[in-house]
Chain A
Amino acid sequence: MLVNEIMTRKVVAIGPDTPIRDVQLLMEQRNIRHFPILEERSKGALDSLVGIVSDRDLRLVGADHPRAPANVTAADPVKRVMVTNVLVAHPDDPIEETAKVLRDNKIGAMPVMDDGRLVGIVTGIDMLDALIFMSGVREASSRLEVELADRPGALAGLLDRVASRNVNVSSVMTSRADEGSVAFVLRVGTFDGHGLADHLRGLGYNVLWPPEASEA
């Protein structure tokens, strides 16, 4: 999954001279937490990224707090509190890469830049949406967890066996990986998950869920 598929495209961008008070108002009214700050490069267009400001930067202005910026009031321009060394993402970046950058730098959002132009913004919340989508249940299905040898064809073989029972696989996720083995969670389109599991056990697979029937 790429940044392109999860980013917000309609970005509320502001100029560096906008008063902090106006940005605070926008933040509350529009329920937005991150504002890219753009300057005019070609005439009449805000098209050059110069900074970013977050809800935390804005809330600290005038606050009685050790990290509150000194000598800044809500009447000052937003460039007084913006962050200038902005980390950016590209629309074709894989989201796991973007998630890692957000996590490692403890930041909440990155502007998405394509060829020097701002095309979107991607946030930690978008990452949660992606997680919900990837781990979620889109079709009525049962959970099947199988441990496989970590070698070519192991997963393909399993999927083949499932397909030969006329059962659809709607999702595949890695649940853990150890030395030489990987466990996968599949969502399989059957209400007889136990029947499928028993069938796979009969073929020698190590099925972790559902369990074997414990009573005859």
Chain B
Amino acid sequence: MSAATPRSGPTRRVVFVHDPRMAQFELHADHPFKPIRMELTRSLLVHAGLLEQAEVIAPRPPNDDDLLTVHAPDYVEAVRELSAGGPQTDAARYGLGTADNPIFPGMHGLVSLICAGTVTAMDSVATGAALRAVNLGGGLHHAMRARASGFCLYNDLALAIRRAVDVHGLRVAYVDLDAHHGDGVQWLFYDDPNVMTISLHESGHYLFPGTGHTYETGKGAGRGLSVNVPLEPYTEDASYLAAFDAVVPAALRAFAPDVILLQAGADPHRYDPLADLSLTLTGMRDSYRRVVALADELTGGRLVATGGGGYDPYRTVPRAWAQLWAAVTGREVPSSLPDAWLEEWRDLLPSGSELPRLALDGQGDFPPRPKREQITRRNGVVAQRVVEALTAVWQDTGLGGAVTSR
């Protein structure tokens, strides 16, 4: 398997979930979450011709029954009332009305729609209607059963996993490449034998949400199925990919999933203002290609991908997600980005913001981070610790015997 090289040709039957309403909402201007990044990405894909062979479909109609497979009834009720302008007496109890999770009109409907998008993506793949599916509006990995967190109101990923397991009878491997730990998804499936969660992230010692330590390995029937690779601030491409290669293939092979759900938050990039990892677009592209190659190896190619974090909306997010889409569809993003894309947005961006002309940046475009060797050594120790701890648990639980005896 050569994870870093693209597949031989375009992959047929890839669904792109789209609904203009997913990107058309306003938070207060200071909030780091910028919905415009979705339209910038879609427009880039259109101008680059990358959506031509895709099947663009709308999310299924949102419904509360989906939400209630994951979220507490009182929480959904509270969100609906706050969304409609109700009194904010109980808001704090549910993590709402804070700087991160402002209450805004229509939020229940909007986030329900985003969730329906990821469920639709999962349905498309689970039924065989498509080989892969992407919902860039999804990826709300911090939302808990009865609590909003990190601008995640409802957990679309958890809803899609529940549906894959309960309705389609699939075992799901969740791979989270966002710079922040995928805590909501991890805790919601912490004891579930049908779901493995894997998260590579900046260490919780430094970054929100503060969890995702190596010793969080699952419990009960889910023991050994929660995998965390906490990385040092300023981790660069080579060290990141080495940690990925040390842990992710072994974990996925041991679990042998039916489908992979990828959360591809775009915030590991060094330009991201909220996190401190130092990846380039080349490293991020290579991580996406590795996940796609593992899907080809283990799930017959079945893969659902979502967006996630990403707070450098003009330079980084569109390019990162174009690479994600290209990896999922087995195509290449043209190395020079289309003039028509730059033209379309020229007058629409805030002053001082500019779109990039090249598809990629790489490690050679930036000075090396100080302490690179220490960081690399530290990440290597952590990755090794994760593998050793999990291998012992897997031997104990009888998971992945074929892998560990190799």
Contact = CB atoms under 8 A, between A and B. Distances in A.
B98 A191 contact: no
B183 interface: yes
Interface in B1-52: 32
A140 B210 contact: yes
Nearest to B97: A166
Contacts of A191: 100, 142, 150-151, 180, 208-209, 274
A137 B32 contact: no
A211 B278 CA distance: 13
B98 A195 contact: no
Contacts of A142: 206-208, 210
Interface of A: 137, 139-143, 165-168, 187, 189-195, 209-211, 213, 215
B368 interface: no
B205 A143 contact: yes
B191 interface: no
B314 interface: no
B255 to A, nearest CB: 26
Given A192-B32, A192-B274, A215-B271, A140 B207 contact: no
A140 B99 contact: no
Contacts of A140: 142, 149-150, 183, 208-211
22 contacts: A137-B204, A137-B210, A140-B149, A140-B209, A142-B206, A142-B207, A143-B205, A143-B207, A143-B210, A165-B99, A166-B97, A167-B98, A187-B210, A189-B100, A190-B98, A191-B151, A191-B209, A192-B99, A193-B274, A195-B273, A210-B276, A213-B273
A190 B270 CA distance: 20
B273 A141 contact: no
A210 B276 CA distance: 9
Nearest to A193: B208
A132 to B, nearest CB: 11
A190 B271 contact: no
Given A140-B150, A140-B183, A189-B98, A194 B210 contact: no
Contacts of B274: 191-195
B271 A192 contact: no
B70 to A, nearest CB: 17
A192 B204 contact: no
A58 B274 CA distance: 55
Contact of B207 (A139, A166, A193): A193
Contacts of B270: 215
A192 B151 CA distance: 10
Interface in B216-256: none
